[in-house]
Amino acid sequence: MGENNEVTAAGIARLAGVGRAAVSNWRRRYENFPRPVGGSEASPTFPLDEVERWLRDQGKLAEVPVRERLWQLVESDRVGPADAVARAGEQLLARGDATPAGAGDQAAATATLAAELGPGGAYEFLLGRHLDAAARQLTLTPPETAALMAAIAGPADSVLDPACGPCTLLAAARAHADGSWPVELYGQETDHALARLGGLRLALRGTATVHIRAGDSLLADAFPHLSVDAVLCHPPFNERNWGHDELTYDPRWEYGLPPRAESELAWVQHALAKLRPGGTGVLLMPPAAASRRTGRRVRATLLRRATRWRVAWVGASAQHAGARRGRLGFSGPG
């Protein structure tokens, strides 16, 4: 076991199969309970090896499932959970469920979980735990919403998500497929760590060719000449610094320059610019994007040119983080 592994009070509770209140009680009652070595006063961390030894000596160590044991090692890794999950993904991609020679505890536990769940399943578990823990800092697409958007888009040989995050929508497009499509998956994400995690997620699902790039699709498009059959996207909302001044004369604004406060209309036009004739785009949007006064000129132009693009607002029913969302779908003539 690595000497630098640490665990939170919540992690100790999971190891022992008790509630957090029990851990707080142990800290007060037992003078030999391991001392904090990191974290903060409100959320201290403890040396994992000492905690396990203490729990074992006290007869309080539950039989820990391999997935929980692995997550404790990942969560406490000094490189940070995002890098630790990515490292596990790279191991799974390279070796599957084989244990690397000279493997440490974390690599060995990763291989053991892969033998139980398969390499893709093991990675989905780790990625899901990481995303749940970081949910307040991320904009995530609910899996059921992603599945619906992929179903609306339908069969496509090539799919792009220009704000792909952990590639939930691209993964949904692959899961919705009948095994023959999509052949090419493209994604771009401003958060380098998420781009890395999402790329591994898709690579571990196999078959499709995956192209994931880190960067800002509006300001620095990684696929400037790309045309695809489908665009799926849950763009960031209400962004003021999306590039209004820098992109004033950008050729993507065929339907008008998006107002500074209407970043969503920039993403809509970026998606349209990426579609082949007959292609389909499905974007998860805030309902206000369909009614704000500042964007009515661009929206009106989109509707006036409905002979070229069929545009539909599909019910504002998706729930995420307490906010309502709608799906904007559009498709070109065949």
Segment among 127-131, 221-225, 255-259, 287-291 with least mean pLDDT: 287-291
Position of tokens 């693009």?
Answer: 309
Identify whether residues 199 and 274 lie together within a single domain: yes
pLDDT at residue 249, rounded to an integer: 96
Identify whether residues 122 and 162 lie together within a single domain: no
Identify whether residues 71 and 49 lie together within a single domain: no
CATH number at residue 304: 3.40.50.150
H or E stretch covering 331: strand 323-331
Amino acid at 260: R
10 Å CB burial of residue 60 (0-12, 13-18, 19+) is middle
Q: Are strands 323-331 and 275-285 parallel, antiparallel or unpaired?
A: antiparallel
Provide the CB-side half-sphere exposure for 171 (13 A, CA).
23
pLDDT at residue 1, rounded to an integer: 42
What's the rounded Cα separation, in Å, for the pair 187 and 160?
6
| Tally of CB atoms within 10 A around 215 | 14
Identify whether residues 148 and 56 lie together within a single domain: no
Identify whether residues 125 and 58 lie together within a single domain: no
Band of residue 224 on the pLDDT scale cut at 50, 70, 90: very high
What's the rounded Cα separation, in Å, for the pair 72 and 98?
21
Q: Is the pLDDT of residue 260 over 60?
A: yes
What whole-number percentage of the chain has pLDDT above 70? 88
Structure tokens at 159: 């799919």
pLDDT at residue 326, rounded to an integer: 58
Q: What is the pLDDT of residues 177-219, one digit of tens each?
A: 666 667 899 999 999 999 999 999 999 988 789 999 999 999 9
pLDDT at residue 100, rounded to an integer: 79
Structure tokens at 229: 């059959």
Q: Is the pLDDT of residue 72 over 50?
A: yes
pLDDT at residue 320, rounded to an integer: 42
242, 209 in Cβ contact below 8 A? no
pLDDT at residue 215, rounded to an integer: 98
Average pLDDT over every residue of 133-142: 90
pLDDT at residue 317, rounded to an integer: 43
Segment among 71-75, 133-137, 181-185, 213-217 with least mean pLDDT: 181-185
DSSP 135-201: GGGS----HHHHHHHHHHH---SEEEETT-TTTHHHHHHHHHS-SS--SEEEEEES-HHHHHHHHHH
Q: Which of 45, 64, 83 delimits the end of a domain?
A: 64
Q: Is the pLDDT of residue 333 over 60?
A: no
Which strands form 38-39's sheet, in the order they lie side by side? 6-8, 44-47, 38-39
Identify whether residues 250 and 157 lie together within a single domain: yes
Domains contained in the chain, number: 3
| Tally of CB atoms within 10 A around 313 | 14
Average pLDDT over every residue of 149-156: 90
Identify whether residues 196 and 91 lie together within a single domain: no
What domain range includes position 79?
Answer: 65-137
Give pTM, 2 decimals.
Answer: 0.81
What's the rounded Cα separation, in Å, for the pair 205 and 190?
23
Identify whether residues 81 and 208 lie together within a single domain: no
pLDDT at residue 78, rounded to an integer: 86
pLDDT at residue 331, rounded to an integer: 63
Q: What is the pLDDT of residues 263-322, one digit of tens each?
A: 999 999 999 999 998 899 999 988 888 888 898 999 899 888 754 555 555 544 444 433
pLDDT at residue 176, rounded to an integer: 67
198, 170 in Cβ contact below 8 A? yes
pLDDT at residue 4, rounded to an integer: 65
What's the rounded Cα separation, in Å, for the pair 48 and 63?
16
Q: Is the pLDDT of residue 324 over 60?
A: no
Identify whether residues 54 and 199 lie together within a single domain: no
CATH number at residue 7: 1.10.1660.10
What's the rounded Cα separation, in Å, for the pair 262 and 291?
11
Identify whether residues 164 and 296 lie together within a single domain: yes
Q: Which of 24, 43, 64 delimits the end of a domain?
A: 64
Q: Which of 46, 53, 49, 57 is nearest to 23 (CA)?
A: 46
Which of the pair, 328 or 126, is modelled with greater confidence? Answer: 126
Which of the pair, 4 or 39, is modelled with greater confidence? Answer: 39
Q: Is the pLDDT of residue 332 over 80?
A: no
Band of residue 2 on the pLDDT scale cut at 50, 70, 90: very low
Band of residue 328 on the pLDDT scale cut at 50, 70, 90: low
Average pLDDT over every residue of 137-157: 91
Identify whether residues 308 and 189 lie together within a single domain: yes
What's the rounded Cα separation, in Å, for the pair 306 and 326?
20
